[in-house]
Amino acid sequence: MTLAKDVSLCHHYPSDMTRWQPDARGRLEQAALELYGERGFEQTTVAEIAGRAGLTERTFFRYFADKREVLFAGGNALQELLVAGVAGAPDEVTPIDAVASALEAAGGRLQERRDYARRRQAVIAANSELRERELSKLASFAAALAEALRARGVDEPAASLTAEVGIAVFRIAFERWVEATGEVDLPELIRESLDELAALAS
């Protein structure tokens, strides 16, 4: 009975091999980025991405709403890391230092995927719709950080201001990191930007 059921399922989705494919998500991300780099974002179809990854369109849509979201889905994990960083900072830490340690943790995560991050950034820079989506993602990071600060008892407008300023620091450090030619460490650039912030605001 069980076997018959499986066979019927296979028959129903004849070309879908993906439930047995390891790391389908990572392969789709990789394939999408390759194709966006080679042909441009607009010229690439979901069918081509799935094909390059050796998967089906059906599988693609199991992981991503559309071809734009392949580039932004990773942001959710980063946002959770930022929020956890602020929530997990010791009680006596100031708001900006709680944000600073969260940003450094997120920077450390990104550092592991520098090549991916750089290629992704080049694709985004070339397309205005993607640039707007990226700004929207950063605004959502700032809103999540502000929420996490309020949960620590930080009042408004200090919570929102600290969060927005933290994201501004992060953006500047991230841009330097993406554009740098040699070996650079994102958490270190974030610390430098924070020092620069203290200097400019004093």
Here the tokens at position 70 are 């392949």
Select from 33, 166, 188 the least CA-distant residue to 107: 188
Residue 111 CB, nearest distance to its own copies (Å)? 18
Using CB under 8 A, pick the residue from 158, 180, 188, 191 that binds its own copies.
158
Stretch that binds its own copies, among 27-35, 59-67, 80-88, 126-134 (CB under 8 A): 126-134
State how far the Cα of 125 lies from the Cα of 17, in Å rounded to an integer: 34
1 near its own copies (CB under 8 A): no
User: By C-beta, is 26 or 157 nearer to its own copies?
Assistant: 157
Q: Please tell me whether residue 131 binds its own copies under the rule CB under 8 A.
A: yes
Instruction: Kindly provide the residue ranges of all beta strands, DSSP E only, lying in the chain, ordered along the sequence.
Output: none
Measure the CA dihedral 20/75/64/120, to 10°: -90
Q: How far is the CB of 112 from its own copies (least distance, A)?
A: 23
Cα distance between residue 75 and residue 59, in whole Å: 20
Rounded-to-10 torsion of CA 166, 176, 127, 49:
-100
Q: Which stretch binds its own copies (CB under 8 A): 3-11, 77-85, 104-112, 163-171?
A: 163-171
Judged by CB under 8 A, the chain residues 19 through 58 that form the site for its own copies are: none
> Which of 162, 186, 187, 190 touches its own copies (CB under 8 A)?
162
Q: Is the dihedral of CA 130, 136, 141, 144 positive or negative?
A: negative
Q: Measured between alpha carbons, how far is 83 from 146 in angstroms, rounded to an integer?
A: 9
Regarding 125 and contact with its own copies (CB under 8 A), the answer is no
Cis peptide bond upstream of 90, omega within 30: no
Binding its own copies (rule: CB under 8 A), the pick from 29, 32, 33, 95 is 95
Q: Under the criterion CB under 8 A, does residue 94 sit at the interface with its own copies? A: yes
Residues in the site for its own copies, rule: CB under 8 A?
94-96, 128, 131-133, 135-136, 139, 157-158, 160-162, 164-165, 167-169, 171-172, 175-176, 193, 196-198, 200-202
